[in-house]
Amino acid sequence: MLTIQDQLQETATQLFSKEFGQLSKNEMYITVATLTQNLAAKEIENTSVLTKKQDAKQLYYFSMEFLMGRLLINNLQNMNIFDEIDEVLEPYGVSIKDIEFEEGDAGLGNGGLGRLAACFMDSIASLNYPGHGITLRYRHGFFKQTFVDNKQVELPDLWLNNRNVWENKISDDATTVSFYGNLHKAEDGSYSLTDTVDVLAMPYDMPIVGASHTANRLRMYDVLPLENQKNFDTYEKDIMDIVSCLYPDDSTTKGKELRLKQQYLFVSAGLQNILKEHLATHQTLDNLADHVVMQINDTHPTLLIPELMCVLIDQHGYNFKDAFALTSKCIAYTNHTILAEALETWDAKMLQNLLPRVYQMIEDINNMFLESLKPYNYTKEQVEKMAIIAKKKVHMANLAIVGSFSVNGVAALHTKILVEKEMKIWADHYPTKFNNKTNGITQRRWFHYANPDLSSLVKSHSDDRLMEKPIEWFKAFEQQLDNEKVLQQLMDIKATNKTKLSSYIQKHEGISINQDAILDIQIKRLHAYKRQLLNVFHIIYLYQRLLNDETFKENFHPQTFIFGAKAAPSYVLAKNTIQLIRTMADIINADERVADKLQVIMVTNYNVSYAEKLIPAADISEQISTAGFEASGTGNMKFMMNGALTLGTMDGANVEIHELVGDDNIEIFGLLKDDVFAIHASDYKVKDDIKDDETITFILDYIKELKDFQPILDYFEKENDYYLVVKDFKAYVKAQEHLNALYKDQQAWTKKALINIARSGYFSSDRTIEDYVNDIWKLEKLVD
Ligand SMILES: *Cc1c(COP(=O)(O)O)cnc(C)c1O
């Protein structure tokens, strides 16, 4: 058995024909990561041996997005070899922390939905369940953000330019996926297609190394050309587009046909690989549901339902009824959308043209379903609302609900809104299908890795035997609530994290943060419903107040506002909001009169790596969406775990945070979801509110004076402030003032932070995954 040191040298020789000490930083990273990858490969092998031996049921998590971030330290820590490797590096004068930034930040996702998938992968493996991710291998990830004249500019994310050490091309599992073509019916009633455009779907696997002995796979599909295709040059160009980029807007569907091709590609290829593996050991598909469960993350992979039906009927001789029964036993659907009108639909003609057989199957499912509704006496409107195909559109959520055995929302309030309002008709029709699975985050990345000092402190007051029970493990820390020494340590850790963040921001943004200030952070996608605008409105107000009110200024504890957000390239209002934040930052940071009181920073290219730096330093976590619009949020959970106080509306998982910590340890403000729904149903005119409100009038005039911000002004005039910034403004100002005053009592504040940390274990994705396993997936742990 070679020592780690020898293995490192051997890897360096194989890769670069050099002594380890002679390598560049990037080569060192590649060498360490390759060695880690080789060790992970052994764990993957072990996991698949155990899976076969136990004949264990396997989960496949289909998601268009996996926002993984960097993997080196995550993998080393999960494999428990971080310290060992770091020691081996020491004689060369480097540490893992020096080389970790050589790795690209894998941005195969837009935000929360993709990050959730990544956290789930970590928890599934760490809990020793056999569960794999399936997605696309986009050549360009989520765009890289820069600013020119304070405006967002998008650059391509060329994450594959540096060697992607983690992936392995699995040529043996490459499969053909067909688009277009003509349908033919055979005598036995099955269908086939001719004249299709075929592509080769090539899987690349990345190891997902758990903190225990299990390592699963994230399978990413690339597209390659096949040689027997007509007009090869245009064909090749066309098909390469399929995996060229991730769509930078997860809330609307654009580049329509291409996005549909993406969806079908990974669904069809993923399914072929799953069935091939199942048939190799079981010879029949009749028992598929005992061995395979497929979770679809939002509706993007819903074609899985008709596709599995097609395979069962056309290739395995199933009749329609049996095929449907089997399909709907294997597939479960997670809903991430609140508003019914925001659910994904496809133009029926386009779907039929691109995927003739799949479309026909959707029609058959729809006909069967509509037939099954007949005994229920639904009205015509109700039937139309539930139909899978209606008004020349295919309604993917309806298809997902009909064709799956479980539909879950992602936070208690979200599920409640689905069941009682937006999907009430469905929940009444299928009363046992609907369930809630409140989201979670992996504490291994978002606590132990991102905040090592805090992790050590909690560790020293908890019981390591509870490591696998995060709720209890975190909870044990609450016994230190009156321990002055621990409270002081908590303050020191927060201060150190602020210093570290300050030098990081100094390096990347050219500005350092006021160490004494309250650090108030809002980091998330830029969207009107998330209301970054409410935050900037308050900042403009605060700035004027500080300039004009000496007493207020004296009593005001310095506060630094940090934003991080990308706006979809075509989202005009969002981009204009970024420009306003950056413009206000320039004005305020240059104004000597408020220099020691107020600071505003919008960081560049917010991503997972940046989040890992920002969150441990935060005092205030801004979660201020219009109530009823944020399905769950997961950023709110990360902040809570790291000891920030939530300033939030009663929305998404904020409601559950509030329930856990109680009124005194969170700052809740603003309209409730029922208020919001009532206003939207009334003839509310924001104009009237603005007219009667000096402060709002001042802020809008101020923005008008700055020029350049017509889209924001239009939002108030033409969209009637749909997300209710004006209606919630006063309450938000009051909440901000309350927090600012509270912060002066450092001891009291720190106690609140401690309670937040100690009660955050509920939001570990380990808890979420155990809930999925118990209620939906029914997996068994792999026993080493
Ligand atoms: C957690 C996370 C998100 C989700 O943030 P929300 O506040 O829940 O919207 C988005 N982007 C990144 C990089 C994240 O880490």
The preferred substitution site among 144, 524, 532 for testing ligand 1, maximizing ligand atoms within 8 Å of CB, is 524
**431 and 510: one domain?**
no
| Cβ of 607 below 6 Å from ligand 1 | yes
**413 and 266: one domain?**
yes
For residues 106 and 44, the model is more confident at 44
| 670 pLDDT higher than 70 | yes
How many other β-carbons are positioned within 10 Å of the β-carbon of residue 56? 18
**404 and 515: one domain?**
no
Q: What are the helix (H) ranges across 54-163?
A: 72-78, 82-89, 96-99, 112-126
Give the model's pLDDT for residue 247.
87
Which ligand 1 atom sits closest to the C-alpha of 611?
15
Give the model's pLDDT for residue 254.
62
Encoding tokens for residue 469? 């029970």
Using CA positions, which residue lies closest to atom 9 of ligand 1? 524
Q: What are phi and psi of 636, to 5 degrees?
A: -55, -40
673 in a domain, yes or no? yes
| 617-634 average pLDDT score | 97
Report CA(445)–ligand 1 centroid distance (Å).
13
**548 and 621: one domain?**
yes
Helix (H, G, I), strand (E, B) or coil at 176: strand
Say if residues 400 and 305 touch (Cβ distance below 8 Å).
yes
Confidence of residue 17 (pLDDT cuts 50, 70, 90): very high
Confidence of residue 58 (pLDDT cuts 50, 70, 90): very high
Give the model's pLDDT for residue 195.
95
Question: Which of 506, 433, 566 has its CA nearest to residue 109?
Answer: 566
Residue-wise pLDDT tens digits, 690-721: 999 999 999 999 999 999 999 999 999 999 99
| Cβ of 395 below 6 Å from ligand 1 | no
| 394 pLDDT higher than 80 | yes
**86 and 122: one domain?**
no
Residue-wise pLDDT tens digits, 470-515: 999 999 999 999 999 999 999 999 999 999 999 999 999 999 999 9
Residue-wise pLDDT tens digits, 224-265: 999 988 899 899 998 999 999 998 776 666 688 999 999 999
Residue-wise pLDDT tens digits, 631-644: 999 999 999 999 99
Question: Which of 674, 669, 666 has its CA nearest to residue 649?
Answer: 669
**90 and 136: one domain?**
no
Say if residues 335 and 298 touch (Cβ distance below 8 Å).
yes
Domain around 88: 1-54+70-103
- Cα angle value 767/434/57 (rounded, 5°): 55
**306 and 405: one domain?**
yes
**488 and 635: one domain?**
yes
| 10-31 average pLDDT score | 95
Which ligand 1 atom sits closest to the C-alpha of 112?
4
Give the model's pLDDT for residue 748.
98
Report CA(111)–ligand 1 centroid distance (Å).
5
Tally of domains in the chain: 3
How many other β-carbons are positioned within 10 Å of the β-carbon of residue 315? 12
453 in a domain, yes or no? yes
Give the model's pLDDT for residue 253.
61
Report CA(115)–ligand 1 centroid distance (Å).
7
Give the model's pLDDT for residue 338.
85
**458 and 359: one domain?**
no
468 in a domain, yes or no? yes
Helix (H) / strand (E) element for 177: namely: strand 175-179
Using CA positions, which residue lies closest to atom 11 of ligand 1? 111
Report CA(460)–ligand 1 centroid distance (Å).
29
What proportion of the chain, given as a percentage, has pLDDT over 90? 94
149 in a domain, yes or no? yes
676 in a domain, yes or no? yes
What is the bridge-based pairing of β-strands 58-62 and 131-136?
A: parallel
**77 and 114: one domain?**
no
Say if residues 136 and 262 touch (Cβ distance below 8 Å).
yes
Give the model's pLDDT for residue 327.
98
| 324-346 average pLDDT score | 93
Confidence of residue 162 (pLDDT cuts 50, 70, 90): confident
**342 and 484: one domain?**
no
**206 and 168: one domain?**
yes
Label residues 392-412 b or e (16+ Cβ within 10 Å = b). ebbbbbbbbbbbbbbbbbbbb
Task: Out of 103, 127, 161, pick the residue that ends a domain.
Answer: 103
| 275-289 average pLDDT score | 96
783 in a domain, yes or no? no
| Cβ of 352 below 6 Å from ligand 1 | no
Give the model's pLDDT for residue 106.
85
How many other β-carbons are positioned within 10 Å of the β-carbon of residue 386? 22
Using CA positions, which residue lies closest to atom 7 of ligand 1? 635
Residues classed as catalytic: 336, 524-525, 530, 634, 638
- CATH number of the domain encompassing residue 462: 3.40.50.2000
729 in a domain, yes or no? yes
Report CA(357)–ligand 1 centroid distance (Å).
38
How many other β-carbons are positioned within 10 Å of the β-carbon of residue 341? 7
| Cβ of 524 below 6 Å from ligand 1 | yes
**Strand ranges inside 330-437, DSSP E:** 331-334, 345-347, 389-390, 393-395, 406-409, 434-436
* Average model confidence (pLDDT) across the chain: 96
611 in a domain, yes or no? yes
| 191-196 average pLDDT score | 95
